[in-house]
Chain A
């Protein structure tokens, strides 16, 4: 891969990140609100103390001054203190990353792998019952709102049968550690992960299916068959590798959104992830928390797009030229 291509892509990503950094600050201040008044409404706090809190949050300064403070702090990798919890924003976010990463990450990988496999199977047996079965079922799940699918699974898997817990990430009553705790978390994660996996299967299945169908028209496959190769080898050696490019792009873009969480599904299953944290922070508004979360989300999307660009360049040499 040539160095100029790589450097160009990385440079582009950095410029985008810098833009996001500046944009984030103003985005949450377009609508004029006073977070201190909102957060402390009806709490019977003397006026002097409220003014003091505004000063502590840096809200007494003009917008320009606040912006300079923000740039200085962010440059030192300091995302500030959350207005609501008064804990460092990074610590708050860091504590919630594993929950989201585990749930959305595992579901993304599962839906990508299973979805692609199903798409390939459907394309290879185009027009058969298998094709119709796969396409219909994956599209059915894909078109359901994910929170509704979640509620259905919740009713079936937790409420009616009692096989899975209704919500949360661990059993709050026990103090297990180690492997027991891990299994407990998996038990809690099964339903939300199943929901997200089913919800996103269709996306991969349909992309993989149409991409493979395109590839199957290519002349080199006819040559491969003419050489007398077995059907399975034609598929696995010649067709799939060439059909996978759009799937790679889709996976990379989706992985970028893994950290943003899944607000609706996290809420249905009381899963303590970043999606939930975002909706809570909007209410204040907890400006430092929002800035931190959006910076992280944007950085993840930019990073994975960059990775997709680079990987794509490697998989398909035509992109680099």
Chain B
């Protein structure tokens, strides 16, 4: 037993000793952010997690920026731009005296090289934007960007611009680019990477050459806490200043702390019940090809119950899909046109259409008598939410006389089942970009077998998609998009259940100036362009990483204790050795 105690003491003292040695520069202002999802790669041509976009948003400025208010296009590295008459070419003028963080001038060469190389090498985070673009350097401060097709996204140019002088030598071909670790720390944004420990943290330092000026914070540490409760505890203990991905059940506790603000930030994410539209090879239950049955299913979904019971209230009931982080792209569906929760109405619809339960087993059959209607519901086990909804689903269907067979898959397996068309319904979700085009493209017939997971094909939708994709008048484009979403809503193949928020929390006693993007409803971090960090100011000269005196005293006592123990032990050994001699 003595040995066990000694081992524990040695372990603790080892640790505590280091705390005593730990000393941070008292003048340094450090912001610590805790998150759960580690990075796989910081390379802008490879990485893909939400966590790594935050790093790139800080390290790489873009030609045009987006406002924190509503994502509207504002000046970035470019201070102005001029369209050509046909609207396909834009000439951008860069700010004067732009520098990379290593003091190399940032010129039109960097812009053109990034756009053209990302297009040629198919960089996965750039290529969707740059695939039809061609960039030409006019002079150091002028770059001309032409699109092969009319592109309503222009003049927005929100791809991360990388330093040509760093990337060109290591990027003779695509493969060399993707295997680059990208820890050079050369950027043009407010902060640049200083140190990266995989699975542990990324430390970023302020970039004095940032075009808006030097940030008030010296260092940001993004630290991985894989345990959500530990993240919350670290925030409460002041070990962290802000945390991302808070568990629903922790929100109320955090909100009770006077120095902590907990928020639900919306940026377009939603989860939906999808119904197999039948356009893939595998077919749904024949009843689902009838729009009346699909509508009845929609009317049997209790969205409020999901939000209350599964999400602890953190979600907004959804109508159509949200194709953008900007809520103005979601059309207003008048209440009397909404497919609302109405079990009696759903039953009446099914009765009227001849789907009756003739054998009295509680499950309806196809009109004219036939097999029971039993739906194969795919449960995605990658999250906690979808299985919970999967438990509610059979109950909703039971009251309208439909049977359900639950099949569990992980995300990869479910994807294969969807592509093959071997399902009737499932629940999954999406997070949109700011421009609605990608999300809209997912439901075109061209995407069947890929992103079109409702296996739904509608030539009218496809035609409208092409139209919005080339419509250069923003108001008209929004009208077309609204029309597309209404069409999809009416088709009843995709019932968004709720718009899902990012749950975040931050301390108010160390930094102030957190802003939400978009205004009022969005998150304060891990948003589209992450504007908070540059604006944050320490409260009353908050400085980073101090260790409380109590810990230091305890540490000291433990160290002394251990040394005494070790000495005593050594003496005893020597004494017994003497005895033997």
A45 and B127: CB pair below 8 A? yes
- In chain B between 534 and 568, which residues have their CB closer than 8 angstroms to a CB of chain A? 544-545, 548, 550-551, 554
With A166-B230, A167-B225, A172-B32 as known contacts, state yes or no: A41 contacts B4, CB within 8 Å: no
Stretch touching chain B among A232-240, A268-276, A312-320: A268-276
Contacts of A199 in B (CB 8 A): none
CB contacts (< 8 Å) of B7 on chain A: these are: 110, 114, 197
Set A39, A159, A170: member contacting B197, Cβ < 8 A: A170
Q: Are A280 and B38 in contact (CB under 8 A)?
A: yes
Q: Which chain A residue shows the least CB distance to B20?
A: A183
Contact A184 B18 (CB under 8 A): yes
Contacts of B124 in A (CB 8 A): 40, 43, 45, 49, 53
Min CB distance B2 to A, Å, is 10
Restricting to B422-442, which residues have a CB under 8 Å from any CB of A? Answer: 430-431, 433, 438, 441-442
**Chain A contacts with B in 119-168, Cβ cutoff 8 A:** 121, 134, 151, 154-155, 158-159, 162-168
Q: Name, among A31, A117, A173, A176, the residue most crowded by chain B CB atoms within 10 Å (CB to CB).
A: A173
Cβ-neighbour of B22 out of A179, A184, A197, A272 (below 8 A): A184
Residues of chain B contacted by A50 (CB below 8 angstroms): 450
Q: Is A169 an interface residue (CB 8 A)?
A: yes
Interface residues of A in 163-222 (CB under 8 A from B): 163-176, 179-180, 182-190, 193-194, 197
On whether the beta carbons of B40 and A173 are closer than 8 Å, the reply is no
**Is the pair B8, A173 in contact by a Cβ cutoff of 8 Å?**
no
- List of A residues within 8 angstroms of B40 by Cβ: 82, 84-85, 280
Q: Which single member of A38, A113, A117 contacts B411 (CB below 8 Å)?
A: A38
Contact B11 A33 (CB under 8 A): no
Please, which residues of chain B bring their CB within 8 A of the CB of A95? 198
Cross-interface CB contact of B16 among A33, A159, A163, cutoff 8 Å: A163
A180 to B371 Cα, complex, angstroms = 72
Contact across chains for A41 and B19 when beta carbons are under 8 A apart: no
The reply to whether the CB of A283 lies closer than 8 angstroms to some CB of chain B is yes
With known contacts A34-B415, A114-B7, A180-B21, A190–B239 Cβ distance under 8 A: no
The yes or no answer to A96 lying at the interface (CB within 8 A) is yes
User: For the complex, is A267 an interface residue (Cβ under 8 Å from B)?
Assistant: yes
Q: Contact at B4–A114, with CB atoms within 8 Å?
A: yes
- For the complex, what is the distance from the CA of A77 to the CA of B421, rounded to whole Å? 40
In the assembly, what is the distance between CA of A270 and CA of B234, in Å?
Answer: 12
**Chain B minimum-CB-distance residue to A88:** B179
Nearest CB in chain A: distance from B356 CB, A = 39
Chain A CB within 8 A of B104 CB: no
A52 at the B interface (CB under 8 A):
yes
Taking a contact as CB atoms under 8 Å apart, the answer to whether A38 and B127 are in contact is no
Which residues on the B side are within 8 Å of A182 (C-beta)?
A: 18
Q: Across the interface, which residues of B come within 8 angstroms of A86, CB to CB?
A: 41, 43, 46, 178-179
Give the residues in chain A near B237, CB-CB below 8 Å. Answer: 158-159, 162, 166
* Chain A interface size range: 35 or more
Docked CA distance A198–B125 (Å): 46
CB distance from B160 to the nearest CB of A (A): 15
Residue A42, interface by CB 8 Å: yes
User: Inter-chain contact count A-B, CB under 8 Å?
Assistant: 214
Residue among B24, B30, B48 making CB contact with A43, cutoff 8 Å = B48
State the majority secondary structure of interface residues on A. Answer: helix
Q: Which of B1-41 contact A (CB under 8 A)?
A: 1, 3-4, 7-8, 11-12, 14-19, 21-24, 30, 32, 38, 40-41
Residues of A within 8 A of B46 (CB): 85-86
Complex interface residues of chain B between 50 and 99 (CB less than 8 A to chain A): none
- The residues of A that contact B11 with a CB separation of less than 8 Å are 186, 189-190, 193-194
CB < 8 Å neighbour of A190 from B12, B131, B433: B12
Is residue B281 contacting chain A, with contact meaning CB distance below 8 A?
A: no
Q: How far is the CA of A46 from the CA of B233 in the complex (A)?
A: 42
**Contact check: which of B43, B197, B233, B544 meets A166 at CB < 8 Å?**
B233
Task: Give the segment of B199-207, B334-342, B475-483 that binds chain A.
Answer: B199-207
CA distance A163 to B559 in the complex (A): 13
A269 and B227 within 8 A (CB): yes
State whether the Cβ of A81 lies closer than 8 Å to any Cβ in chain B. Answer: yes
Q: Using a CB-CB cutoff of 8 Å, which residues 355-410 of chain B contact chain A?
A: 382, 410
- Is there a chain A Cβ closer than 8 Å to B527's Cβ? no
Distance of A104 from chain B, by nearest CB (Å): 15
Q: Answer whether residue A32 sits at the interface, using C-beta atoms and an 8 A cutoff.
A: yes
Most buried by A among B234, B431, B551: B234
Q: Is the CB of A187 within 8 A of B18?
A: yes
- The one of B125, B197, B230 that contacts A172, using a Cβ cutoff of 8 Å: B197
Q: Which A-B residue pairs are the 7 nearest by beta carbons?
A: A183-B18, A187-B15, A272-B199, A172-B201, A33-B412, A44-B438, A186-B14
Query: Beyond A164-B15, A280-B38: 19 further Cβ-contacts under 8 Å?
Result: A38-B415, A41-B415, A44-B128, A49-B122, A86-B179, A87-B41, A162-B548, A162-B550, A163-B12, A163-B551, A164-B12, A166-B233, A169-B200, A174-B545, A179-B21, A180-B18, A186-B14, A187-B19, A190-B11
Q: What are 14 pairs between A and B in contact, CB < 8 Å?
A: A33-B412, A39-B48, A43-B124, A50-B450, A154-B230, A163-B16, A166-B230, A172-B221, A186-B11, A187-B15, A187-B16, A189-B15, A272-B224, A280-B40
